[in-house]
Copies of this chain bind each other. A is one copy, B any other.
Amino acid sequence: MKRTTIKDVANRLGVNPSTVSRALKDHPDIGLALREEVKRVATEMRYTPNRMAVQLRQRQSHLVGLVIPEITMFFYPSVIRGIEEVLEPRGYQLVMLPSNESPSREAQNLKFCGENQLAGVLISFTRHTLPSDGLSLLTNLEMPVVVFDKSLPDLPFDSVILEDEEAASRATRFLIDTGCRRIGGLFGSPNLLITQKRLQGFRNALSSANLPFVESMIRFAGNADEADLCVREMMVPEDAPDGLFMMSDEIVMGAYPAILRTGVNIPADCSVICISDGFVPGCYYPRISYLHHDGAGIGREAAHRLISLIDSDPSVSIPEHRMVNAVLIELESTNSIEKGE
């Protein structure tokens, strides 16, 4: 029950394998009549080229590595959809390489990509990866790579990220504009660059509005459970915020029910806003306005960029840093204009 190879087809037709190979790719050297005949027989014999052989010969695998810190239900599924959308029609396949938030595993994954000459790599770093380590990893890689979302500072590689600072700033300003004056912030892992940038945006918005930045009004939560805790700490009778910025879906899913549980009324007592991929905010009542963090869009962008890197001369390309902008989606119900008037 062996697969039919190009030789089988050649033998059947009494021609040379090379002829079959050329005929199938419409090489002009092969006569038109024979070309058609070859194709006919090939499909009849259900011939399909052996990918491993092809890859060995052309030194290219048409596989793209996706190195992500962890395969969570947030963000990455959308990213993958976006990536697939552009990769699939071009014949590339995606290989999952989750790092489980471990830098060593991440290094392993990258090594895998290098050793197996994948066509390229899409990477989002773990929260524990040191900038210097990330730099050297990618430098040693010597293959097309684009970093997305969880990037590191000053990386001389192509990247696609959200305009984090701006998004956070806009979100915070939105709270301010709807009358909030004591604004709290719930952030993710503090070592993440995106956390730092979103925090910066948050602070900027406050200071632009001449509101004080109060250290005790912000909290960092590594996951939903921690967000729950943070909320319980924040929502103390006297000092509770009248507006809350949450930097991600995961934070929301931990914090939102916690807010409700403390008896705080949304939006009467406290307005909320978040940065989100878009699904989660609609799954709460009242619904949550958000700055759209378009996962699929980022995935598409990153994949596009990677493809063009693969197709181009690696030596001449200079790194491009793309910022995807976030648009405000107002769901109205978690914010009340009247507050504070």
Contact = CB atoms under 8 A, between A and B. Distances in A.
Interface of A: 1, 3, 48-53, 55-56, 59, 61, 63, 66, 70-74, 76-78, 80-81, 84, 93-98, 112, 115-117, 142, 224, 253-254, 256-258, 260-261, 279-280, 282-285, 287
A70 B85 CA distance: 12
Nearest to A108: B88
A261 B283 contact: no
A52 B95 contact: no
A194 to B, nearest CB: 19
A96 B94 CA distance: 6
Contact of A61 (B52, B254, B258, B279): B52
A1 B314 CA distance: 13
A279 B250 CA distance: 10
Given A94-B96, A260-B285, A56 B48 contact: no
A52 B117 contact: yes
B71 A73 contact: no
Contact of A73 (B77, B115, B285): B77
A329 to B, nearest CB: 15
Contact of A74 (B3, B73, B78, B287): B73
